[in-house]
Amino acid sequence: MGEITRMDLSNNHFSGELPSDFLTGCFSLEFLNLSNNNFNGQIFPQYMNMPDLRYIYLNNNNFSGKIGKGLQNFTYLEALDISNNKVSGQVPNWIGNFSNLQFLLMSKNLLEGNIPVQLSKLSFLIILDVSENKLTGPITSFSNFSSIQELFMQKNAFTGPIPKSLFRSSKLLMLNLRDNQFSGSIPNLIIKHSSLRVLLLGGNHLQGPIPSQLCELRSLSILDLSNNRLNGSIPSCFSRMIFWIGQSDIHNEYRSIGLAPGLLYMNYDSYHYNSILSLSLTEDVFPYSYHSFEVNFLTKNRYDSYKGDILNFMSGMDLSNNDLFGDIPSEIGDLQGIKALNLSNNLLSRSIPKSFSKLKNIESLDLSHNKLSGQIPRQLTELTQLAVFNVSYNNLSGLTPNERQFATFDQSSYIGNSDLCVTLINKSCTSVPTPPLLPSNGEEGEESAIDMVAFYWSFFGSYVTIILGLLVILWINSHWRMLWFYFIGECIDFCFYWLSKYVSC
């Protein structure tokens, strides 16, 4: 089939190595999709003869060995997906020679070594996925990636600081560097017009405070800074992130980017994030390659996978397992669109903000393992979407709310608070007054009784003191004693006069 230009054999049960006649005879092939099969052997041996091949999808097979040099013959290569195989060795330097390469997907393999500097020459690269390999070293080679929109490097062994150039790109939409060994601080050189929607930096060795410049990421929907060594306070300016504030002004903007002769359709939503790779080689209806990326995010006490359209409806922030201290900014309550908030395992103190009652869309709220004190605000019962609530191992006191969603939370949500009375478990909590800082009715009555006794004794003492003082004065001073007797006599005469006059009448 020397004239065939498109071949799609994906999602079957094919196995074995690729036949040599196929690799040398289909010299007109432009589109090849062998994904989701059981093919094995080496990828791109040297005897391949497909000079016009531009779109290659070999993902989800059993290919092994190093990447063969036969790939160098693909001068016009635009998309390469070899993810989820058993490919080993290093990423070849000559991949940087594919000047038209836009999509490079090599995740879930056995690749090792450094990212070659030559990749920085890929000026049209849009998506790079090298996640879940054994890659090491710094990633300084990403300084010239001005066109990249999605970068996946999670679950490797990368070291060194995070390149500041990644945060200067206005086109970057998704950055996943989770579960590596990056050190240093989070770059604070973030441009105001950044389009970043997903930022995952959890599971590294990052230090220092959370830069307030992150608040410039107005389109950010998912933020994961967990399991690092970050310190300082939580920036109150997080409330300026538009996605989390609310969803009353949501609007969709649909763009298409021409990739002659193919098209990459990406749904850019200023509040929702979605990435769909759809390749069509002609204007006619033809089977296309569909690729949708997924994001794993901790919510409801487990890691859930959000992929495709479902990712459009997810928003969350995870700052857990750090050394953050101080109080929780009340401005966090303005993030009305957020669905998951995890601040657990930090050093946060003071009380839970009452403004959290404005988080109308929140489904998971974890404040456990901190130093929070005071009562659980009863205003939180207004959170009708709340499915998971955890404030265990704090210094909270008083009664736990038991209305609406809070009627479904068991003791595990409150354990480790010695002064907190769980109303759904301990029925004696009903006799305990709601505000513990105010005296109960019995205490008020007892205090009133004590005040009346003191009043009577003070009145009696004052009366006796006045009488004794008057007697002492009359005993010492004879002149005042004569005046006193004269005054008493006049009073007696006056009373006798009016009494005799009244009786005679």
Please give the chain's pLDDT, 505 residues, in tens.
888 999 999 999 999 998 888 878 888 889 999 999 999 999 887 777 788 889 999 999 999 999 988 888 888 899 999 999 999 999 999 998 898 999 999 999 999 999 998 888 888 899 999 999 999 999 876 666 778 889 999 999 999 999 888 877 778 889 999 999 999 999 887 777 678 889 999 999 999 999 988 888 878 888 999 999 999 999 988 877 766 555 433 333 333 333 333 333 333 333 333 344 444 444 333 333 445 566 777 776 666 666 666 666 778 999 999 999 999 999 999 888 899 999 999 999 999 999 999 999 999 999 999 999 999 999 999 999 999 999 999 999 988 888 888 888 888 899 999 888 887 666 567 654 444 444 444 444 444 444 666 777 787 888 788 888 877 777 777 777 787 777 788 788 778 777 776 666 5
Q: And the tokens for 198?
A: 């997903």
- The answer to whether 232 and 308 are in contact (CB under 8 A) is no
| Rounded alpha-carbon distances, angstroms, from residue 48 to 21, 78, 157 | 9, 17, 33
Name the CATH code of domain 1-146 (choices 3.80.10.10, 2.40.440.10, 3.30.1330.90, 1.10.287.990): 3.80.10.10
| 222 sits in which H/E element | strand 222-224
**First-to-last C-alpha distance (Å) of the chain:** 148
d(CA 169, CA 149): 9
Per the DSSP assignment, residues forming a β-bridge with 405 are none
Measured in degrees and rounded to the nearest 5, phi and psi for residue 57 equal -130, 105
- Residue 292, CA distances (Å) to 243, 277, 303, 309, 426 in order: 22, 7, 18, 9, 49
How many angstroms separate the CA atoms of 300 and 282, rounded? 45
Assign 120 to helix, strand or coil. helix
Residue whose token pair is 């009562």: 375
Output the pLDDT for position 117.
Answer: 87
Q: What angle do CA 104, 108, 112 make, to 5 degrees?
A: 80
Predicted pLDDT at 244: 58
Enumerate the domain spans of the chain.
1-146, 454-504
Token readout for 377 is 């605000």
- Residue 111's pLDDT is 96
Task: Please give the pLDDT value at position 297.
Answer: 73
**What is the phi/psi pair of residue 75, to 5°?**
-65, -30
Q: How far apart are CA 418 and CA 397, in angstroms?
A: 8
Number of Cβ within a 10 Å radius of residue 329: 17
How many residues does this entry show for the chain?
505
User: Looking at residue 440, what is its pLDDT?
Assistant: 42
- At residue 178, the pLDDT reads 94
- Buried-state track 438-477, b at ≥16 Cβ within 10 A, e below 16: eeeeeeeeeeeeeeeeeeeeeeeeeeeeeeeeeeeeeeee
Alpha-carbon Rg for the chain, nearest whole angstrom, is: 39
Buried b (16+ CB within 10 A) or exposed e, 1-12: eeeeeeeeebee
